Amino acid sequence: MRTLKFLLRKEFKQIFRDKGLLPLIFIMPMIQLLVMPLAANFDVKNVNVAIVDHDHSTYTQQLVNKIGASGYFRIANYSDSYKEALHLVEHEKADIILEIPQNFERNLIRENNQKVFLAADAINGVKGSIGSAYLTTVLTDFNSDVRLKWVQPQRLGAVSTIGIDYSNWFNPLMDYHKFMVPAILALLVTMVGGFVAALNIVREKEIGTIEQINVTPIKKWEFILGKMIPFWLIGIFDFTLGLLIARFVYGIIPVGSIATLYLFVSVYMIALLGFGLLVSTYSSNQLQAMFVAFFFMMIFILMSGLFSPVENMPQWAKVISNLTPVTHFVEVMRMIVLKGSTFANIKKQFFIEIIFAVVLNSWAIWNYRKTS
Amino acid sequence: MSAIKIEHITKTYDKGNVTALNDISLEVAKGELFGLIGPDGAGKSSLFRILTTLLIADKGTATVDGFDVVKDYKQIRGCVGYMPGKFSLYQDLTVEENLTFFASLFGTSISENYDLIKDIYVQIEPFKTRRAGKLSGGMKQKLALCCALIHKPTVLFLDEPTTGVDAVSRKEFWEMLKRLKEQQITIMVSTPYMDEANLCERIALIQNGELLSVDTPEKIVASYPQQLYAVKADNMHKILNDVRFYENLQSVYAFGEYLHTTFKNDEAQIESKLTAYLQQKNNSGIEIKKIEPTIEDSFIRLMTEASLIKQH
């Protein structure tokens, strides 16, 4: 135990002297938490619509006004040539073309039926699909307006429409930040914990200090604990920092119990440090460790459900996703912070993280023994 | 009982393709200053790493201070001091912090064993608040030696301690080793510099993982079988080429300002015959004299012999 104390003292001295590491641990998470939630916004706004109007009637005027007033669209062009509109799409000045055929108004009234044409630029898939979905909603809306106007006088009361009211649970205003901030916080803890710990241990190998340590009577578990405890504490510290930023910058107050949150993070950090240790036992220098850790981080980030819901993934991807500790952490973060889940609700994820912690650490220690 | 006993140690790397050590047997007595001399890649570091329990040999056994390097590695780690070839202390800790840290890992303190390191430590003490990474090469060496000595080891392993250190610091370093020897510490030191061999009590010459000779420097020199001649002329490049084609020649190599040569049969008039031959080849300022071989001559002979045997 006495040795451990000396190791920890040495480790903290080194961490606080490392001019490159300090900003990585303390400044980077803050900046990311301040910048990323603002940038990572999936609300689609400012879709540029080019309208090709072959009709020039009152109805088309009303339709165009309605589109323009919806708040999602900007009328990029208004002409009667499809070619001209397509040209705009080619130059990325328009995202969607709405073509209104000739005699739109007349046919709509006479034949109760008329078709319009929508063409969306699918290079930006999100903008294309969400944009045309919005536009379809506007058209449907317009359609029912027209029908109400024309049909009602003839057959009073016969038209029954379904009114829809929304109620957004756990995030009433559908505030995107509330969804992203807890997840990004989870990611930051992951980066600091996984990356920095892996690099730190490999550094001892690279500089050769581990040779000198190995010929002392120090025990393996002491050395490993001496490495893990400081980064565990740093992870918890960064997490606290993140919670404070979430509270004072984004106004997010965890609905659930803070204690449950910390309990989960504590176990999660152990799993993650096991991952870092594992990477370090397989790499011989910092560059290698960096790339290996980076490779896994990419998988963790993209497959953890941070940006795209895990439910949308194909079956095989879901399996991979469930095999990363980050996925469960992101899920639990959102559950506790937004939904106020209790320990009973997150029990499953909690035990999964315990399994991760045990497996990763045992593997790492086993491999560490083998190599030296 | 010998301090270090190595029996038939073999170590290969790369799944047996590269042989680092081939059937090495060696004994070092207690309190001896033993030198392991050999070129880079001879297997010196591998042997050190096996003896300090950092590496496990494929075959053979070794004991340090009576402890087996595999079975009793824990005891060995408590009683040996090891200074790796590469500076391996914490560059971002100060001199004092490094020393305190290693002392505490061994459950001791600087003051407890201050006598042992005093001579060395006083030289770096003025810089004790400086980070180890900011020290000069010689200073780093001294600090590393202090760290290896801080727990009063019975056996000290120094892997190329003088590589990359200036001549003055090297000399100082060897003087320090002699003083440590007086404290009854067994020292095993490796070096690629042959001139340092004379400073050891006994030396082992190692090349390509094999021991060529183990003896005192004096005996190794005395075992030189032939008369050695030093040859010199105004144009050294030309004379080297000419001597190479002399029919009675056995070996020739440049050594300082002379060529050192040996001949197949040591006839009486060899000096005059060679002079005549060289004059005929238009060499001027010819000087030939008999000399006593140095330890380096002995090594060069042993190494060329060993590689000749390997070729045939």
Domain count within chain A: 2
Confidence of residue A42 (pLDDT cuts 50, 70, 90): low
Nearest by CB to residue B88, choosing from A10, A207, A372, is A207
- Distance, in Å, from the CA atom of A235 to the CA atom of A274, rounded to the nearest integer, reads 13
**Same-domain status, A231 and A348:** yes
Is residue A360 one of the residues assigned to a domain?
A: yes
Which tens digits make up the pLDDT trace of A257-316? 999 999 999 999 999 999 998 998 888 888 999 899 889 888 888 888 887 788 888 899
Q: Which of A151, A183, A208 is the last residue of a domain?
A: A151
**Same-domain status, A307 and A251:** yes
A102/B contact by beta carbon, under 8 A: no
- Is B54–A214 a contact, with Cβ atoms under 8 angstroms apart? yes
- Is A213–B105 a contact, with Cβ atoms under 8 angstroms apart? yes
pLDDT at A154 over 70: no
The 10 Å Cβ neighbour count of residue B182 is 8
**Same-domain status, A146 and A184:** no
Closest to B49 measured CA to CA, from B88, B17, B15: B88
Q: Enumerate long-range contacts of A140-145, CB under 8 Å, 24 or more apart.
A: A141/A66, A142/A62, A142/A63, A142/A66
pLDDT at A243 over 90: yes
Average pLDDT of adjacent 10-residue blocks, chain B of 312 residues: 90 87 91 90 90 90 91 89 89 92 90 87 90 88 91 92 84 88 91 86 90 88 87 87 85 88 80 85 86 88 82 72
B50/A contact by beta carbon, under 8 A: no
String of b and e for B128-137 (b: at least 16 CB within 10 Å)? Answer: eeebbeebee
B15/A contact by beta carbon, under 8 A: no
- pLDDT for position A210: 86
Min Cα separation B71/chain A (Å): 14
**Same-domain status, A223 and A238:** yes
String of b and e for A87-122 (b: at least 16 CB within 10 Å)? Answer: ebbeeeebbbbbbbeeebbeebeeeeebebeebbbe
- pLDDT for position A151: 62
Is residue A165 one of the residues assigned to a domain?
A: no
Is residue A157 one of the residues assigned to a domain?
A: no
**Same-domain status, A199 and A329:** yes
**Same-domain status, A250 and A218:** yes
- pLDDT for position A265: 95
Instruction: Spell out the alpha helix ranges (H) of A208-257.
Output: 209-214, 220-248
Domain residue extents for chain B: 4-216, 225-292
The 10 Å Cβ neighbour count of residue A146 is 18
Rounded to the nearest integer, the mean pLDDT of chain A is 85
**Same-domain status, A228 and A297:** yes
Higher-pLDDT residue of A107 and A352 is: A352
* Chain A residues with beta carbon closer than 8 angstroms to that of B92: 13-14, 17-18
Closest to B206 measured CA to CA, from B82, B61, B35: B35
pLDDT at A352 over 90: yes
Q: Which of A98, A120, A151 is the last residue of a domain?
A: A151
**Same-domain status, A33 and A88:** no
Phi, psi angles (nearest 5°) of residue A268: -60, -40
Q: Domain of A116: which CATH number?
A: 3.40.1710.10
B106/A contact by beta carbon, under 8 A: yes
Is residue A161 one of the residues assigned to a domain?
A: no
**Same-domain status, A21 and A132:** no
Residues counted in chain B = 312
Mean pLDDT calculated for residue range A345-368:
92
pLDDT at A365 over 90: no
**Same-domain status, A141 and A244:** no
The position carrying tokens 């002379």 is B258
- pLDDT for position B127: 92
Share of chain A above pLDDT 70, in %: 94
Query: Mutual orientation of helices A315-322 and A325-334 as an angle, nearest 10°?
Result: 90
B203 has which bridge partners?
A: B35, B215
- Is A216–B104 a contact, with Cβ atoms under 8 angstroms apart? no
- pLDDT for position A71: 80
- pLDDT for position A159: 57
Distances B294 to B23, B189, B227 between C-alpha atoms, Å: 28, 20, 12
- Is A14–B101 a contact, with Cβ atoms under 8 angstroms apart? no
Assigned fold of B4-216: Rossmann fold (3.40.50)
Which tens digits make up the pLDDT trace of A193-219? 878 888 888 888 888 888 888 888 888
CB of B274 within 8 A of CB of B283? no
Whether complex ipTM tops 0.85? no
The position carrying tokens 């608040």 is B129
Residue type, B69: V
Higher-pLDDT residue of A278 and A108 is: A278
The beta strands (E) that lie in chain A are given as 47-53, 73-79, 96-100, 117-120
- pLDDT for position A152: 56
Token pair listed for A120: 């969306």
The dotted CATH code for B225-292 is: 3.30.70.100
Show the domain range for A60.
47-151
- pLDDT for position B130: 93
- pLDDT for position B51: 92
